[in-house]
Amino acid sequence: MSPVRQATHAYTPLSDADITRIHDASLTVLERTGVEVTSAEALAIFQQAGAAIDPDRSRVFLPRGMVEDVLAQACHRFTLAGRDEAHDLDMGGERVYMGTGGAAISVLDLDGTVRESRLTDIAEFARLVDCLHNIHFYQIPVVARDIPDHLHDINQVYAALSNTTKHIQTNLNSLSSARDVMALATMVAGSPAALAAHPFLSFVTCCVNSPLRYDPLPTALMIELVRNDLPVAISCAPITGMTAPMALAGSLVQINAEVLSGLVLANLVRPGARILAGYVPTVADHRQGGVAVGTPEFALMNAAAAQLAHFYDIPIYNSAGTADSKLPDVQAGYEKAMTSTIAALSGANFIHHTAGMLESLLCVASEQYVIDDDINGSVMRLVRGIEVDDQTLSVDVIDEVCNGGQFYLENSQTLELMRSECFYPRITDRKPRIDWEAKGSLDMRERARHRACTILTTHQPTRLPAAVDQAIRARFEILLPPELSGSPIPLGYPVQLPERIVEAEEAEFAVYECDRR
């Protein structure tokens, strides 16, 4: 899909020697400390492959050779598809993509109130993401708290699929709902083989519960999904000083051991399984006793994790664009810009949480998606770096201007490259003060609210085929109203935007597509 950039690996907090030491320490942990596996099926898989087992403690010890053999045969490149192939994501190597993330439980509405998240929010946020070019995939960001638990998975996936053609990622709550979701996706794809060949849906499983413990349900889910040849992110999220060592290096050793053990299990189930190595190292604010995600240490750890994944040449799933702020304010802006820039410059492949998230991942806001689209676009421009070739060195252009009586504005190169060399944000203000005041003196949040409202009430995503949609509704208990399946969303509350926002000219929000090459 476009935009996609080649990572520059401009930020590398670990030296080559550091990476080797962390790798060696991780293998020592797996061989000496081992992992606790409370899934009988996973225990049997490990034992059959030759791992040492302590049955009294359900402990599995992985020999170095086993881990190294799996790393050699692991899948290094694969595609996460969009329902529209223009949104396909090439995982691995030096590709960088930024998208949503979550499981938030509350929503900051456009009218400024905070409430519990609902099923309609998943459709609404999917519609926003479908229209925002610098948000490349849609991980379902909230939990629909207004529907029964046993209907969560099928309804959340349906709400997402029917409102965006970008790649969708979700977690699952039971084996039965996993099978329902796979059946729904197969109906959309046309066949199991078509879904496996063009997987527009992937899954995240938190089978490793830090420190170094496999829980039965998420482990069973991962095994089921891998057996069905579907892409899975094995997400590990130890917290420094709580569920991992306080030392950042030690926390990296533990998360690396957790990720590698998950990679081993997945490849024992299906050699060459399409796995995203889910490094989500997290830090705590020990003054407050909670998780902090807008911190420099969080950014450092996620960048270091990307280096480890590149060392193994495996696709990485990690986190950035996170904020502890409760509002789309200055704090949220600097937290998001810092964490996103560092993760992207480290070359992470699948960076989730980079859009919409607030309040330490507990809350989502529509206007924050719009703001984050600008932040992500700026970050991706940094990642692309400076192209140096005969044309861009501009020796002839300099000569023409200096000796030919031209101005650079008149030179053909300026028009030719002005859009590809520069990123033009959608709502970020760069106007002279007099023009800004003439347009109502709107601040960033007001401009973002206006654009979010415009998208939600006018954007028409590509619908699911009518026959497929009808078949899905006939087979499953779908609770999303039909009018919210691919149609502009009538906002369910009166949004009292200031008149100066309503009257703002749409020309102020004209897009300059930066580098659609």
Q: Is 415 part of a structural domain of the chain?
A: yes
**Hey, which residues does 133 pair with through a beta bridge?**
none
Contact assessment for residue 358 and residue 415, using Cβ atoms and an 8 Å cutoff: no
Instruction: Specify the pLDDT at position 491.
Output: 57
Q: Is 430 part of a structural domain of the chain?
A: no
> With 80 as the cut, is the pLDDT of residue 12 above it?
yes
Instruction: Specify the pLDDT at position 516.
Output: 28
Q: What are phi and psi of 167, to 5 degrees?
A: -60, 140
315-372 residue pLDDT tens: 999 999 999 999 999 999 999 999 999 999 999 999 999 999 999 999 999 999 999 9
Distances in Å between the Cα of 237 and the Cα atoms of 103, 252, 256, 419 are 14, 11, 11, 39
Confidence of residue 501 (pLDDT cuts 50, 70, 90): very low
Instruction: Specify the pLDDT at position 26.
Output: 99
Instruction: Specify the pLDDT at position 102.
Output: 84
For residue 266, count other CB atoms closer than 10 A to its CB. Answer: 26
Q: Is 401 part of a structural domain of the chain?
A: yes
Q: Is 400 part of a structural domain of the chain?
A: yes
The residue-averaged pLDDT of 128-151 equals 98
The torsion defined by the Cα of 76, 82, 87 and 93, in degrees rounded to 10, comes to -10
246-301 residue pLDDT tens: 999 999 999 999 999 999 999 999 999 999 999 999 999 999 888 999 999 999 99
Confidence of residue 406 (pLDDT cuts 50, 70, 90): confident
193-231 residue pLDDT tens: 999 999 999 999 999 999 999 999 999 999 999 999 999
C-alpha–C-alpha distance, residues 453 and 390, integer Å? 45
- Quick one: what percent of the chain has pLDDT higher than 90? 89
Please choose, from the candidates 3, 4, 6, 18, the residue with its C-alpha nearest in 3D space to the C-alpha of residue 307: 18
The residue-averaged pLDDT of 67-72 equals 96
Q: Is 453 part of a structural domain of the chain?
A: no
The residue-averaged pLDDT of 498-514 equals 40
Reading the block at residue 81, the tokens are 């598809």
Q: Is 501 part of a structural domain of the chain?
A: no
> With 90 as the cut, is the pLDDT of residue 20 above it?
yes
> With 50 as the cut, is the pLDDT of residue 384 above it?
yes
Classify 208 as helix, strand or coil: strand
Token match 């003196």: residue?
441
Classify 65 as helix, strand or coil: helix
Q: What is the mean pLDDT of the chain?
A: 92
The residue-averaged pLDDT of 50-69 equals 96
Question: How many structural domains does the chain have?
Answer: 1
Helices (H), 228-365: 248-269, 296-312, 330-345
434-469 residue pLDDT tens: 999 999 999 999 999 999 999 999 999 999 999 999
Confidence of residue 507 (pLDDT cuts 50, 70, 90): very low
Instruction: Specify the pLDDT at position 342.
Output: 97
CA 343 from chain centre, in angstroms, equals 12
Determine the structural domain holding residue 409 and report its residue range. Answer: 393-421
Instruction: Specify the pLDDT at position 496.
Output: 47
Distances in Å between the Cα of 372 and the Cα atoms of 192, 321, 410 are 35, 8, 34
Residue predicted with more confidence, 140 or 513: 140
Instruction: Specify the pLDDT at position 8.
Output: 56
Please choose, from the candidates 85, 109, 88, the residue with its C-alpha nearest in 3D space to the C-alpha of residue 492: 109
Classify 486 as helix, strand or coil: coil
The residue-averaged pLDDT of 47-64 equals 96
C-alpha–C-alpha distance, residues 420 and 52, integer Å? 55
Instruction: Specify the pLDDT at position 94.
Output: 86
For residue 499, count other CB atoms closer than 10 A to its CB. Answer: 9
17, with CB counted inside 10 A (0-12, 13-18, 19+), is: exposed
Half-sphere exposure (Cβ direction) of 446: Cα atoms closer than 13 Å:
17
Q: How many residues does the chain have?
A: 517
Contact assessment for residue 101 and residue 140, using Cβ atoms and an 8 Å cutoff: no
- Quick one: what percent of the chain has pLDDT higher than 70? 92
Confidence of residue 510 (pLDDT cuts 50, 70, 90): very low
Instruction: Specify the pLDDT at position 494.
Output: 42
For residue 482, count other CB atoms closer than 10 A to its CB. Answer: 12
330-345 residue pLDDT tens: 999 999 999 999 999 9
Q: Is 416 part of a structural domain of the chain?
A: yes
Ordered DSSP codes for 425-459: -SS---S-HHHHHHTT---HHHHHHHHHHHHHHH-
Instruction: Specify the pLDDT at position 405.
Output: 83
Q: Is 398 part of a structural domain of the chain?
A: yes
Confidence of residue 511 (pLDDT cuts 50, 70, 90): very low
The residue-averaged pLDDT of 36-44 equals 96
Instruction: Specify the pLDDT at position 56.
Output: 93
pTM of the full predicted structure? 0.93
- Listed in sequence order, the residues at least 6 apart from 391 whose beta carbon sits closer than 8 Å to its beta carbon are 413
464-488 residue pLDDT tens: 999 999 999 999 999 999 988 876 6
The residue-averaged pLDDT of 105-125 equals 97
Please choose, from the candidates 287, 296, 214, the residue with its C-alpha nearest in 3D space to the C-alpha of residue 248: 296
Contact assessment for residue 168 and residue 160, using Cβ atoms and an 8 Å cutoff: yes
Classify 377 as helix, strand or coil: helix
Write the single-letter amino acid at 288.
Q
CA 105 from chain centre, in angstroms, equals 18
Confidence of residue 6 (pLDDT cuts 50, 70, 90): low
